[in-house]
Amino acid sequence: MISIQKFTVNPFQENTYVLYHENGDCIIIDPGFYEDHEKDQLLQFIKQKNLKPIQLLNTHAHLDHIFGNKFVADTFGLVPYMHELELETHEKATTIGLMYDLPFDAYSGKPELLNESDKIKLGDDELSIHFLPGHSRGSLGFYCEKQGFIISGDVLFNGSIGRTDLPGGDFATLMRSIKEKLFLLPDDTIVYSGHGPETTLGQEKISNPFLS
Ligand SMILES: [Zn+2]
């Protein structure tokens, strides 16, 4: 069984998730740790739970989701995994950080690539990968069918949707990702978004003002 720990970090209040299995393995998704005290929070949690990080995943490569990639990669000997269509944004991360007046040490190696045919293993559990472009070109969602949750990045939020005005964003594409892909999953699927509180797909179908 997978447990989920959320850290809300950096000036963008981004949600970083640690998914951990009872065997002690864990996966870190979208490490947004910017300040040292945020990095310490992760280290303390890992130590306290006696976890072993085995994979680093990015739903997409926007700045707020990758601030901590290098820290996590260096600390635990991991390589970030993301969709190929995020590489261009990822390569510009240092420059984009300076544009936002948020200098940081970006991960400088070559990320590993993920696509929909891949599966993420965590103990005896598994996550499938859903390609959900629109907020960014290569946004991915990580779905656990057995426990009924998805780590959805910035595609869908509690009461809102991802912005589409950044490079690679496209409103019609985002709507298709939500309505023709995400919404095919069961209504009681819990959505862990890149920002804000959790929700369910059923809740958003009824009440999200952008989707009615
Ligand atoms: Zn984003």
Question: What's the CATH number of domain 2-207, 3.10.129.10, 3.40.50.970, 3.60.15.10, 3.90.180.10?
Answer: 3.60.15.10
Q: 173, 85 in Cβ contact below 8 A?
A: no
Position 75 pLDDT exceeds 90: yes
Rounded to an integer, the average pLDDT of 80-95 is 96
Q: 142, 120 in Cβ contact below 8 A?
A: yes
| 136 alpha carbon – ligand 1 mean position (Å) | 7
| 25 alpha carbon – ligand 1 mean position (Å) | 27
Rounded to an integer, the average pLDDT of 50-78 is 98
For residue 114, the one-letter residue type is: L
CA 102 to CA 97: how far, in whole Å? 5
For the chain, the structural domain boundaries read 2-207
pLDDT in tens, 107-120: 999 999 999 999 99
Rounded to an integer, the average pLDDT of 53-81 is 98
Rounded to an integer, the average pLDDT of 55-67 is 98
| 154 alpha carbon – ligand 1 mean position (Å) | 5
| 100 alpha carbon – ligand 1 mean position (Å) | 14
| 137 alpha carbon – ligand 1 mean position (Å) | 10
Neighbours of 35 (CB within 10 A): 12
Q: 119, 130 in Cβ contact below 8 A?
A: no
Rounded to an integer, the average pLDDT of 23-38 is 98
pLDDT in tens, 176-198: 999 999 999 999 999 999 999 99
Q: Is 207 helix (H, G, I), strand (E, B) or coil?
A: helix
